[in-house]
A and B are shown apart, each in its own frame.
Chain A
Amino acid sequence: MSDDAEKLNDPDLQQVMKRRSLLRWSFSGVILGIYLLWGVCGVYFADFYAAPFFGNTLPIGLAMGFIIIVLAMIMSAVYVRLTNRLTTSKTEQSSG
């Protein structure tokens, strides 16, 4: 166990951990922040949310919801690519 702890001094590992942590919290913060903001704003700007989106009957609130779903999907795909590329032979077992 203490052997494991000593590996924290490894500069390679430190760098990967730093990048991973940056990705982890920025991605989490962005998607959760947008979701909560969208939800709470719906309480105060209900009429705006109900207004038509670009002249269609699709309301703005729902259109924003659809956009956030697509955003979450895109962010997930990007996150998997970025973090799985960060992996080095030294810091994480490769698959297969």
Chain B
Amino acid sequence: MGDDGVNITAISVFVAFVSLSLIITWWAAKRTHSTNDFYTAGSKITGVQNGLALAGDFMSAATFLGLTGLVFIGGSDAMIFTLGVTVSWAFLLFAFADRMRNLGRYTFADIVAYRLQPERMRILAAAGTLTVAIPYLIAQMVGAGSLIETLFNIPYFGAVMIVGTLMTVYVAFGGMLATTWVQVIKAVLLLSGGTLLLLLALSKFGFSIDSLFSRAADAHARGAGIFRPGGLYNDPISVISLALAFICGTAGLPHVLMRFFTVPDAREARKSIGYAVLIIGFFQFAIVLIGFAAIALLIENGEFVDEAGRISGGANMVSVYLSRIVGGELFFGLISAVAFATILAVVAGILLSASAAVAHDFYARVIRRGEISDEDEVRVSRWATVAIGATAIGLSMFFKNMNVGILSTIALAIAASVNFPAIFLALFWSGLTTRGAVAGGVTGLVVVIVLTILSPTIWVSVLGYQTAIYPYAYPTLFSVGAAFLVTIVVSKSDNSERAAADRAAYPAQLVRSETGDLL
């Protein structure tokens, strides 16, 4: 792969990014003293900054590299993913932004614990955070390791160590302030790099969308069949399950929800997610066009494609190879470095949410029952960060050959099935009780894991059985449905004293969620 010239551009851009991010971390570390600083950057981030950081959180390697690869494989079918991403963020804005901001301080556990039994809800939320964050973290790091191995010729072990160490340094020293700025810089880099890639690719078609799509159809083995939906999914239940994974999953991702608390109030929270929708929408638009341009140019070029039409190094490499065809070695190096920076910024955000779940929700609130000084809690958070970072590095070595797509799908499905029902019902249903929320969360987790194992992705692809017991690719329709059903039934039949207190506290929570701190 590539000669020394390629590596020099990629490595210099990457070294520049890492140096800048370490300077930011050093600057942020001097400003990070309290738990408020560590978890939420003192709630002083502006709407625009947070919008970029939120968009950056979601524009992970999975979306930039994975979705362009998916367009390459699935043609029009990939649109349900790109559209799902955009729509789910709009839904997050419409339904949750203001109430989440007004009720929470550090983590989404604040919302579910607001009126329910705090210790039990924090344990549930911390478990919900870790079961999402750990697979997500491993998925990104395994992806990063393989990507860096291919691009920079650094061995997998070394690549994972570099990513793991840098993310731990950012979070442990710089907390949310450093994590946010690293994310903002990366978002700007990725947006400019992506836009440039799109423009350069379009210039190969004389900026004619018509010529882009006709050449893609001419080049592809399936011809105009790539425009016909149904290759990746062909039944309504799979489509709805997939859509629900995005809609409910995005609203259940702990590192995304945590960003709600970095802005001063509900107005800024709405504004920041509004910006995030604009940025993400634009980026998804670009991804579809880049994907189809890759179909035309990569297959016509032939250099990176084998006889069966498969991409060497996997479909995730599509946008990186495209950058080489349209922009030469220099641009190829730039995009490679941006892809690396993207992963680095995303894993830092996930790591911070995991360490907040362990140090704040579990240790400070449940074990110490809130009897802990601010200083001690920040210290515990930093050590938790180091411990989780080291665990993630270790697990990534172990899961080297795990399919990254499966891991991140499982993480999103768990977020949808465990975290989302509890948050949604805590915010909008006065009848929710502690017992109901816990029962629903456990149900969601069990159903999502069982169905994923029985589904074609694991039962057939990994375990090698002939046919899957659960025929649909995504478990979310049934797992989210079961979680909601159990939560509601158990809450309704709950006659305990605690349940009465849970219900009675709803009006006060409602006022707070609509007004914030002022009243």
Binding site for B on A (CB under 8 A): 1-2, 4-5, 7-8, 13, 16-17, 20, 23-25, 27-28, 31-32, 35-36, 38-40, 42-43, 46-47, 49-50, 56-59, 61-62, 65-66, 68-70, 72-73, 75-77, 79-80, 83-84, 87, 91-96
CA distance A61 to B264 in the complex (A): 41
Whether B277 lies near A76 (C-beta < 8 A) is yes
Q: 3 tightest CB-CB pairs across the interface, nearest first?
A: A59-B227, A50-B228, A80-B274
Whether A31 lies near B507 (C-beta < 8 A) is no
- Judged by a CB distance under 8 angstroms, whether B59 is at the interface is no
Interface size class of B (residues with CB under 8 A): 35 or more
B contact patch SS: helix
CA distance A79 to B227 in the complex (A): 33
Contact A32/B209 with A42-B80, A92-B518 known, Cβ cut-off 8 Å = no
Whether B511 lies near A40 (C-beta < 8 A) is no
Whether B94 lies near A31 (C-beta < 8 A) is yes
Name the one of A35, A72, A92 contacting B267, with C-beta atoms under 8 angstroms: A92
- Judged by a CB distance under 8 angstroms, whether B243 is at the interface is yes
B512 surroundings in chain A (CB, below 8 A) = 4
Contact string against A for B residues 84-101, beta-carbon threshold 8 Å, 1 for contact and 0 otherwise = 101101110111001000
Q: How far is the CB of A47 from chain B (nearest CB, A)?
A: 7
Q: A57-B213, A93-B516 are in contact. List 6 more A-B contacts (CB 8 A).
A: A1-B508, A61-B229, A77-B274, A84-B267, A87-B266, A95-B267
B514 surroundings in chain A (CB, below 8 A) = 13, 16-17, 20, 91-92
CA distance A51 to B513 in the complex (A): 47
A2 surroundings in chain B (CB, below 8 A) = 508
CA distance A17 to B515 in the complex (A): 9
Whether A79 lies near B274 (C-beta < 8 A) is yes
Name the one of A16, A65, A75 contacting B79, with C-beta atoms under 8 angstroms: A65
Contact A8/B507 with A16-B514, A46-B230, A56-B209 known, Cβ cut-off 8 Å = yes
